[in-house]
Amino acid sequence: MKKLLLFAILLLAITASQAQEWEELDLGTDANFQDICYALNNESYVFVAGGEEIYKSTNGGDTWTSLSQSIAQTIWGITFPTTLIGYVCSNDGYILKTTDGGQNWSISLQLTSGGFDRIVFKDEDNGIASGSATYTTSDGGDNWTLTNSEGYWALDYAEGDTYFAASQIKIMKTTNNGQSWTMQKQDFNSLFGSVSFYDDTHGLAGDAGKVWISNNGGVSWDEYSSPGFGINRAAARMDFDTCFISGEDGLIYKSTDGGVNWELDADYSGNLLRDMDITPGNTVFAAGFQGIVLRKVYAEPEADPAISVDPTSLVFDSIPVADTTIEMLTVTNSGGKTLRIDSIVSDHSYFWTNQGPFNLGADESKTFEVFFSPAKSGFAEGFLTIYNNTKFTGAKKVHMSGYGLETVGMDETISQQADFLIYPNPASAMVTISFDESIEEIGQLVIRDISGKKCMEMDIKPFDTKDIRLNVSTLKPGLYFVSVQNGKNELTTKLLISK
């Protein structure tokens, strides 16, 4: 029995290992493939095109059939929003459309001059084609509109209405389906030949000997280089961490840390690779000249990130008004992809935290302090909301509750704190100091930080009202002690500054 179990484990290990290797698929052609894609509604349907030839697989690349067309001679781009509806574009000025899975093709657009390098559709109706200029359609290719006299070599759909494009010295972005474009980067020393975003935030661009990574929607880019990088015409970003790059040298590099470090993943020297694509199930395809089509199958995609918290609600100890108590909260990413915690916000001023943004890797946790400091007596409750900037999971809410105690009748130290009250507390600008009785003698108010350093000082003159206003906006965030000396008495309470 143990031998059988050991054999089964070994078999699974071998299978998993094989699933991580690149394999060259046999299409039986020497066509110079320029582009490869999968059908958006069924990733088992894979299409590749180049020159006059188009090939189709209905089983994830295991077998292929040739699709005939006799119109375009230099096909460079292919896209299939469904298994039946697809488009190709050519460098000789054609956009062709099929509605029967590639068996028949008709002219969707024909230019009198110029041509196309890439075409991408996000659904059956909306698509962009670019080359010598950029055209868009919103009615399934029935009509095309010239939206940019400038064209691009590389084109990729991100999400929503956002696409990215790259060519030579520029990386461009549109957030309205190609109606207008903004330049995200211009580098006169670059030769951008590919661009790939796995959502509208995280992407990479291939350059000659370099790779550029953006994690903020193309606003800024980090440059990474390697002695092994060639002219990178094929790029694909799988998720936050995993990226692939290749090109005219036939070497495929992989990064598992968001593009910071790269290692050689496959060597197909002598083959010019022109495009890469990744299915939702994490199968990577690459295609290039002399009919080469490569596939790397990942056995199982990583689980999407998910926020879990412990405890699920925070119940604070009952404490005197203006005192502070702490509870610890642990946030865990229970998924397999990196999760970005963008902010943590309380909807009640009595509850707060100093914790700022942070990242959580797969199954990673972070524990931090949450404070309760009641400004008035009685029951208080609110929610702590944990926001993140990924598309995978929504904000997480944690219920909080606590009770502020009256200080009358407590020991001398605490009763001294009951003679005046500061609110709001925590505060950021103006506070009100409310006394139990009117001030009848000249006194002094002193604010010290937790090290005992004097931060503010002011005289208190006799007055009829019990309240005075004080501007504390110059104080840095943190815990302070506010003391009032009046005659022989010194009364002290705490003040929290939170901005």
Q: What is the pLDDT of residues 297-349, one digit of tens each?
A: 875 555 667 788 999 899 898 888 888 999 999 999 887 677 888 889 899 98
Question: Would 148 be classed as within a structural domain?
Answer: yes
- Judged against a pLDDT cut of 60, whether residue 257 lies above it is answered with yes
Nearest to 322 by CA among 386, 376, 378: 376
The Cα 99–Cα 87 span in angstroms is: 9
Asked if residue 364 and residue 293 are part of one domain, the reply reads: no
Question: Would 17 be classed as within a structural domain?
Answer: no
Q: Is 250 left (phi over 0), alpha (psi -120 to 50) or beta?
A: left
Question: Would 4 be classed as within a structural domain?
Answer: no
Asked if residue 202 and residue 183 are part of one domain, the reply reads: yes
Asked if residue 128 and residue 266 are part of one domain, the reply reads: yes
Question: Would 43 be classed as within a structural domain?
Answer: yes
The residue to which tokens 């500061």 are assigned? 422
Work out whether strand 467-471 and strand 134-137 pair parallel, antiparallel, or are unpaired.
Answer: unpaired
Asked if residue 129 and residue 222 are part of one domain, the reply reads: yes
Asked if residue 144 and residue 28 are part of one domain, the reply reads: yes
Work out whether strand 396-405 and strand 313-315 pair parallel, antiparallel, or are unpaired.
Answer: parallel
Nearest to 164 by CA among 237, 226, 115, 92: 237
Last residue of a domain, one of 238, 263, 297: 297
| pTM greater than 0.85 (yes/no) | no
Asked if residue 230 and residue 361 are part of one domain, the reply reads: no
Which helix H or strand E contains 5, and what residues bound it?
Answer: helix 2-19
Last residue of a domain, one of 262, 297, 332: 297
Asked if residue 260 and residue 112 are part of one domain, the reply reads: yes
Asked if residue 57 and residue 154 are part of one domain, the reply reads: yes
Which helix H or strand E contains 10, and what residues bound it?
Answer: helix 2-19
What single DSSP character describes residue 308? E
Asked if residue 60 and residue 33 are part of one domain, the reply reads: yes
Question: Would 12 be classed as within a structural domain?
Answer: no
The Cα 238–Cα 302 span in angstroms is: 10
CATH number at residue 243: 2.130.10.10
Q: Mean pLDDT across the chain, nearest whole number?
A: 84
Of the listed ranges 129-143, 278-292, 323-337, the one predicted with least confidence: 323-337
Question: Would 97 be classed as within a structural domain?
Answer: yes
Question: Would 8 be classed as within a structural domain?
Answer: no
CATH number at residue 395: 2.60.40.10
Question: Would 72 be classed as within a structural domain?
Answer: yes
Task: Give the domain extent around 217.
Answer: 22-297
- Judged against a pLDDT cut of 90, whether residue 31 lies above it is answered with yes
Percent of the chain predicted with pLDDT > 90: 47
- Judged against a pLDDT cut of 80, whether residue 166 lies above it is answered with yes
> Residue 418 has what pLDDT?
40
Task: List the structure tokens of 234.
Answer: 């094929």
Q: What is the number of structural domains in the chain?
A: 3
Last residue of a domain, one of 297, 332, 362: 297
Asked if residue 170 and residue 319 are part of one domain, the reply reads: no
CATH number at residue 466: 2.60.40.3080
